[in-house]
Amino acid sequence: WIAMDFETSSYSTLRRDPTGRSMDTLDEAELARQAALPEVNIHDQEGVSYRLSKSLCEDFHRFERAQDGTDEIFADSFDLCSQGAKVLEDTMRTSGRRDPKVVGALKQLRSEVEAYRVVLLAHTYEDQVEQAKDWSLLANACAHDDDIRQLMTLLRWSEQVAAEDRSGFADLCKQYDAFKTVTNLKRDTTNACQRGNSGDVGVDFDARSAGEDTEAIDKAYRVVFALVRCGDYETARSMLVQTGAASLAPLLSMRRVHNVFELTPLEQADPYAQMLKKRKLFKKTVAAILNKEGSTLSAPLRMLWAALAGRVEPLLSLANKTEDRIWVLANAAVEAKLDALAGDDVIMCDAPGSVQSIFDEVLPHESWPYFRVYSALLRGDAADAVRFAAEFIADYEKNDKSVPEHLLRFMCHLVVIFRNTKRHHDTTLGNRIILKYTGKLLQLSLTHLIPFYVNFLNDATGKSVTMQTMYRLKSVQSRLAFLEALAEAGQDYRRLSREVVIKSRSDESNKPADLIDRFRWLLYKERETEADAVVEACVLLRKFLEAGDDASVRTLLEVCASRDGSLADRVRAHADAAGAQPTSPIVTRACAEYTEFVYYLNGVDAFDAWRQAHGERVNEQRKDSTSRADMSMGSSMMHSAGAALESKRAGDR
C-alpha cells in the first residue's frame, strides 16, 4: 500500500507550510510502522487517556484557528493544560487511588504548563522592559543585553514554580501561618539575659539562642527562606521583623529591584538612584559574616544569608530538586548582574553568566526532557527546541519504547505553534514530530483529530497519512467524523474519497467485500461525491462481472440503492433539480452504463423467479422452448455487460 504510486499535488486549501512533495526514508519507515499498528477500536473511548487527549487536542485546534499567527496561543495553552491538570488531580482525589497512568499524565501536564509559563513570563518581561528602558537602568540593560533579560525571566519563573509546587526548598511555606502571631521567638533567651545568666547567648538574630528558642528560631528561618525561594519577599520581610531579625529586612526590601524598575532610575537626582550601590554594600557585609571563621550561624540562617547575598554555596550542595538548583544558579547570576550595574567589583565572580550556562550545568544530571525545552524557550530558540524534540523521540524509540503520550502531544503542538508564529526551525524535523503524533492518535482511536495535523506536513506525507487512515477506518461513525474533520481542515475530501476507492481496487490482495466496503466512502457525502460514485461503481461492476461474481454485483447495487432510486437516477435528478450544467460525458456514459447493469440484474432476477415458479409444470418440449428463450433473453441481457467489458478493455470510461 505505501509503495503504491499516486498523485501528490496539493489536496488542502489551507496549506500552512507546504515544505515539499516528497517523503524521506524516515517518513516512509514511520508510515510503515503505523500501517502495522493494531486495528482501530472506535469503541475504546472510556479511558482517561482518550478523554483527556480528545479534550486537549480539540480545544487546542479551536484556539489555534482563532489565534492563527499570534502569541496568544501560549496563554490559551497554559490555561488549557492547567485545567487538564486540575481535572486529573480531582480524578485521583475522587477515586482515592493513584493510577500510574493518571500520575504520569499529571506530571507531563504540569511540566507542559511550566513551558508555557516560561514563554508568557518572557513576553511580559519584554513588554515591561520596552516601556521602562528610557528611564530605568535595569530595564535599559535588559533591552541591550539578552543574557540579563533572560536571567531575570528565569529567576521569576523558578520562583513561580516553587510558589505553585511548594516542595524542596519551598516546602515550609505552608507553615507560615503558624508564625503570624509571633512577636519574639527568643523569649527564653531574653529571660536568661535578664536574669544575668545568659552566658554566650544573645537576643540578636545571629546570636546563639537559649532553651527551646533554638529549634523555633531555626524553623522560623527555614520558613523565611522558603518564602524567599517562592519570591514572596514582602511576606518574608514581615516575618523577619516579627521574629526579631529586623536587621535583615532592608536587604529583603532591596530585592524588590528585581521586579520594580522605579528602584533603578537612570536619573541620578532620583531618591532611589543609589539603591543598587546600597544593596551591594549590604551584601558585602553579609558576605563578610558568612566568610568569617568560627561563625556560629545556624544552617537555616546561613542558607537565608546565602540566598540574599546571591551565593551559590552552600545552597547548590543542599538542593535535591532540579528546579531548586536552577533557582540557586539563577539567583546568583542575577545578583552578579545587578552588582555589575552598580559598578566597581562583582562580589560573585563565579556566578553563571547566561541561561545557557545554567542549563549546561544542570541538564547533565536531569533526564526529564522538559527542562531542555525550557532552556530553548527562554532563549527564544525554536530551532533548538525542535531539534532536541526530534532527537529525543528517536533516541527514546531505540529502546522499543513509546514516547509518553502527552510529552509527544506537547512537542507536536510546539511545532504547530512555531509554524503559525513564523519561528524558524527545521521543517523536516518538525514534520517528523507531527507524523509521530498522528501515529499516536491512530493508536488512541482519535482519528478525527488527524486531519488538523496533516495540514502541517508536506503534501506527499500528509496525503499518505490521510489515505492510510481512511483505509483503516471501518465504522460509519468514525468515517463520518473523519470526513467532517477533513472538511474543517480545508482538505479535498471528495478527491481523497475517490482515491481511496481507486487505490483499494488497485491492490490485488483486496477481496470484493473490501472493495465494496471502501467504495462506501463515496456515498457518505453523496451530494458532493455522487458523480465520482457512479463512475467508480461502474468500474467495480465490470470487474466483478468479468470475474463471474454476480453476488458482488448484486451487493454493490444494493449498497448504492436508496428510496430515491438508483444511483444513476439520483445523479440525474440532482443535476436537473439544481439547474446545473449538463453532466460531463464521462458521468453521462457512467449513468447509462450503471442503468444497464440495473436492468441486467433485474432481468436476471425476474427470469430466475419465473423459472422457479413454472419450471416444474412444463414438459420437455416446453423446457426446450424455454431454454431457447432463455438463451435469447440471456443473450439480450448480457449485451450490456459485454459492451461494458469491451468498454473497459478499450479504456473508454
Per-residue 3-state assignment (H helix, E strand, C coil) for 481-550: HHHHHHHHCCECHHHHHHHHHHHHHHCCCCCHHHHHHHHHHHCCCHHHHHHHHHHHHHHHHHHHHHCCCH
Burial of 648 (0-12, 13-18, 19+ CB in 10 A): middle
Return the H-helix or E-strand segment holding 622: helix 620-650
The yes-or-no verdict on residue 186 having pLDDT over 60 is no
Question: Which residue is listed with cell 547570576?
Answer: 333
The yes-or-no verdict on residue 109 having pLDDT over 80 is yes
The DSSP secondary structure of 220-279, one letter per residue, reads HHHHHHHHHHTT-HHHHHHHHHHTT-GGGHHHHHHGGGGT-GGGSBS-TTSTTTTHHHHH
By percentage, how much of the chain surpasses pLDDT 90?
43
Position 134 scores a pLDDT of 93
Confidence of residue 481 (pLDDT cuts 50, 70, 90): very high
Tell me the residue type at 28. E
Query: What average pLDDT does this structure show over 340-352?
Result: 72
Position 37 scores a pLDDT of 63
The yes-or-no verdict on residue 570 having pLDDT over 50 is yes
Q: What is the distance, to the nearest Å, from the Cα of residue 162 to the centroid of all Cα atoms in its chain?
A: 24
Can you say whether the dihedral through the CA atoms of 460, 31, 372, 125 is positive or negative? positive
Position 1 scores a pLDDT of 23
Question: Which residue is listed with cell 493494531?
Answer: 38
Position 43 scores a pLDDT of 44
Alpha-carbon distance of 132 to 128, in angstroms, equals 6
Contacts of 621 (CB under 8 A, 6+ apart): none
Burial of 255 (0-12, 13-18, 19+ CB in 10 A): buried
pLDDT, one tens digit per residue, over 577-599 is 666 555 688 988 999 999 998 88
pLDDT, one tens digit per residue, over 120-154 is 999 999 999 999 999 999 999 999 999 999 999 99
Alpha-carbon distance of 144 to 129, in angstroms, equals 10
Name which of 94-98, 569-573, 642-646 the model is least confident about: 642-646
Name which of 81-95, 284-298, 524-538 the model is least confident about: 284-298
